[in-house]
Amino acid sequence: MSERILDELILALRRVKTRKLRVLLTVLGIAIGIAAVLGTVSLGEGIRTQAVETIRASSDLTLLEVTPREVNGTVYLITPSSVEYIRTLPHVTVVSPVLRDSYASRYQTYLPVIGAGPDEISSLLNLRLETGRTYSAGSPEAVLGADIGEYLRRYEGMQIGSPFAVMVREYDEQGRPRDREITITPVGILSSRDDRFDAVIFLDTSMVRSQKPGQDGFDAVYLRVDDHLSVPDVADGVRQLGFSVGGAFEQIEAVNRFMDVIILVFALFAGVSLLVGGLMIANTMMISVYEQTREIGISMALGAAEGDVMRLVLFECLFLGILGGCAGIIGSLIFSTVLNAVGRSLLLSRLGGEFSGLFGDSISLITPGMLAVGLVIAVFLSLVSGIYPAYRAARLDPVEAMKR
Amino acid sequence: MTPLLEVDGVSKIYPNGVKALDGVTIAMERGEFVSILGKSGSGKSTLLHILGGLDRPDSGTVYLNGMPIDFANRNDLIQHRRKRVGFIFQQFNLIPSFTALENVEYPLIFHGVPKRERRERAAHLLDQIGLSQRIRHYPAELSGGEQQRVAIARALVAEPLIVLADEPTGNLDSATSSEIVSLMREINRDRAVSFFVVTHDRDLAAQANRSCEIVDGRLNP
């Protein structure tokens, strides 16, 4: 049996060899399709990689923020036992449960507040003081973000080390706002870090909790993951506890989702040329079967089964597919090389130098896996295109076929 | 002992209503050389195609070695064509892109015979038929008589029970025709291969053990 299939492969190969020009044209058809698809996908993958690298370089990927999930309008806060559980997740190094609140200054400046243990939060957020010292646990001391600290000092007369009055907004039974004044002591101002913590006032957990009577849980938990590659796993682990999780990694996920769609759409357009390649194979094979009608009839009279005839046609397609796939791979490698050599400098000259970081050293990325997929697609497409011609060949009436 | 071939009341009507075969009944023994003489359109080719499993009768039965051919079973027909019969055609029907040797070994591919053995068997047959000098030639490089000799070798290569020949001399001049007829007779005699030949060539029919005539699908003994 395998002997016979090997012989049929050889026969099909001979047939391919005797029709070089037609094979060349058909193979070019598939090759262009494969090269177009691989080219667009490699361009998309290149842009994706650059975008992800850019985000990775400019943001704190291993910091995650766990927040409660809202179920039917009710927010279930994060309980201390959940915090302990999060602490035990693999790859989690530092965990800091926080309380969030917002106060106002006497001049009605909005003051977002984070209540956290001083040591945990400084090591987790890598807080650096510009002036003063950090706050101590159990005290009404505060450390201010760079922007808010500068603002309050300049415009509202705040002084480091002196008590500063802030208003806690509450609501009475009728829903009317009612401000209650408390006093905090600013003891330090942080260096600027160009993120949202620049506008935040850090207080001790106990201080913030004392202003929120009747609340046991935490509003959020910040955590640090040891390696950015483990971030998605940790995020999934936290999500399974029923919490939401956020962080810069979401930007990467968003870029990936966006690029998935873009690449898919581009590849679909390029896939049209693949479809044309498939139709060319079908056409070539229909002609091939038509030309061989007599030989097929003779073969059947000599004992070829329908399966033998189908295999002869499909094996011819197989060779067309392999040749087309290989040529397409070579084409896409050339496309990618040209794009990286010429396209990059062209794009940069159009966009200006500030985008040079965006395109590292290559804008088109081809992986061995993509090439393998390209070859598989070419072979699969060729075989599918050959099914109908093969079926037609197998169903020929040998007597009629031999009269040709 | 059962006859080699038994045709029992085989009829075939074409869709246009023409009766190609009308209750044909004939039997032949092992080693016989039977010829059916008929004009074109007499139904003789149709009879041969039915015997070879290339066409189906509308009624009647064909027994080979006492076993009926199951015309409803594609697989049975393929096995029949592959193992039990060998064909010789008026048009030679060699594959133009194959050499003489490759044409002779071709049927053995469908038997799954390994290449080396195929080559040996085909070369041996071509040698016996006197074409050992021509085995690398393509059909277009061979004379009509040589092509038909290659076709005869091809019909014998799978060692069939019976060789079915359809106008084997129809495309040959009279000198070559008689050569081919003598070759077939020789094979029939020396190798005890049974031949069933349909022809309109009276000289060929005269060489047969037994000859019948077919007129309008009816066989006259």
Are A259 and A154 members of one domain?
no
Record: contact B106-A295, CB cut-off 8 A: no
CA-based R_g, chain B, Å: 17
pLDDT at res. B103? 96
**pLDDT band at residue A210 under the 50/70/90 scheme:** confident
pLDDT, tens digit, 9 for 90 and up, residues B194-207: 999 999 998 899 99
Q: Do A97 and A166 fall into the same domain?
A: yes
CATH number given to B5-214: 3.40.50.300
Q: How near does any CA of chain B get to the CA of A4, in Å?
A: 5
Same domain for A218 and A285? no
- The answer on A162 and A101 residing in a single domain is yes
In this prediction, residue B193 carries a pLDDT of: 92
As for the ipTM of the complex, it is: 0.94
A216 plus A286 within the same structural domain:
no
pLDDT at residue A356, as a whole number: 57
Cβ contacts of residue A253 below 8 Å, gap of 6+? none
Neighbours of B216 (CB within 10 A): 14
| Candidates A298, A312, A402, partner chain B, best to mutate (most B CBs within 10 A) | A298
Q: Based on the fold, state whether residues A298 and A366 are members of the same structural domain.
A: yes
Domain boundary (A247, A274, A299) is at A247
Q: Same domain, yes or no, for A396 and A330?
A: yes
A30 and A113 co-located in one domain: no
Nearest Cβ partner of A4 from B91, B95, B112?
Answer: B112
With beta carbons under 8 A apart, name residues in chain B contacting A300. Answer: 54, 81
**Hey, are the CB atoms on B115 and A301 less than 8 Å from each other?**
no
How many domains, in total, are found in chain A?
A: 2
Residues facing A203 on adjacent strands: A115, A142
pLDDT for residue A256: 87
The two three-digit tokens of residue A307, written as one number? 């399966």
Cα B155 to chain centroid, rounded: 7
Chain length of chain B: 221
- Do A78 and A165 lie in one domain? The reply is yes
Do A54 and A143 lie in one domain? The reply is no
User: A310 pLDDT band (50/70/90 cuts)?
Assistant: very high
Residue B127 reports pLDDT greater than 70: yes
SS3 at position A200: coil
The answer to whether B56 contacts chain A (CB < 8 Å) is: no
Q: Any CB–CB contact under 8 A between A4 and chain B?
A: yes
> Taking 70 as the threshold, does the pLDDT of residue A359 lie above it?
no
Residues on chain B touching A399 (C-beta within 8 angstroms): 49, 54-55
Given a cut of 60, whether residue A1 has pLDDT beyond it is no
A311-323 per-position pLDDT tens digit: 999 999 999 999 9
Which residues in chain B have their CB less than 8 angstroms from residue A305's CB? Answer: 75, 78, 82, 110
Q: Which of A111-115, A165-169, A331-335 has the highest mean pLDDT?
A: A111-115
Looking at the predicted structure, is the pLDDT value of residue A235 above 80? Answer: yes
Question: Which of the listed residues A202, A226, A247 is the one where a domain comes to its end?
Answer: A247
B102 confidence band (pLDDT: 50, 70, 90): very high
Question: Quick one: pLDDT at residue A357?
Answer: 55
B171 to chain A, any CB pair closer than 8 A? The answer is no
A288: Cβ contacts below 8 Å, ≥ 6 apart: A15, A19, A313, A316, A389
Partner residues linked to A376 by β-bridges: none
CB contact under 8 A, B95 and A295: yes
Query: What part of A 305-334 touches B (C-beta under 8 Å)?
Result: 305-306, 308
Within an 8 Å CB–CB cutoff, is residue B15 touching chain A? no
CB distance A301–B81 less than 8 Å? yes
Q: Which residue range forms the structural domain that includes residue A238? A: 63-247
Alpha carbon of A292 to those of A314, A326, B138: distances in Å? 14, 27, 17
Note the pLDDT tens digit of each residue in A366-391. 888 889 999 999 999 999 999 999 99
Q: What is the pLDDT of residues A15-71, one digit of tens each?
A: 888 888 888 999 998 999 999 888 888 888 888 888 888 787 777 888 889 988 777
A194 and A88 share a domain? yes
Task: Note the pLDDT of residue A176.
Answer: 81
Q: Is the pLDDT of residue A172 over 90?
A: no
pLDDT in tens, B156-181: 999 999 999 999 999 999 999 999 99
**What residue in A sits closest to B76 (Cα-Cα)?**
A305
Task: Mean pLDDT check: name the lowest of A21-30, A108-117, A354-363, B48-57.
Answer: A354-363
Number of helices (H) and strands (E), helices first, in chain A?
13, 12
Specify whether A52 is located in the same domain as A75.
no
Q: Which of these, A397, A306, A395, lies nearest to B79 by C-alpha position? A: A306
Tell me the mean pLDDT in the region A70-92: 84
Given this model, what pLDDT does residue B169 score? Answer: 93
Diameter of chain A by CA atoms?
110
Cβ contact, residue pair B113, A3, below 8 Å? yes
Q: End of a domain among A225, A247, A269?
A: A247
- Closest residue to B52, CB basis, from A1, A15, A301: A301
Q: In the Cβ-directed half-sphere of B23, how many Cα atoms lie within 13 Å?
A: 1
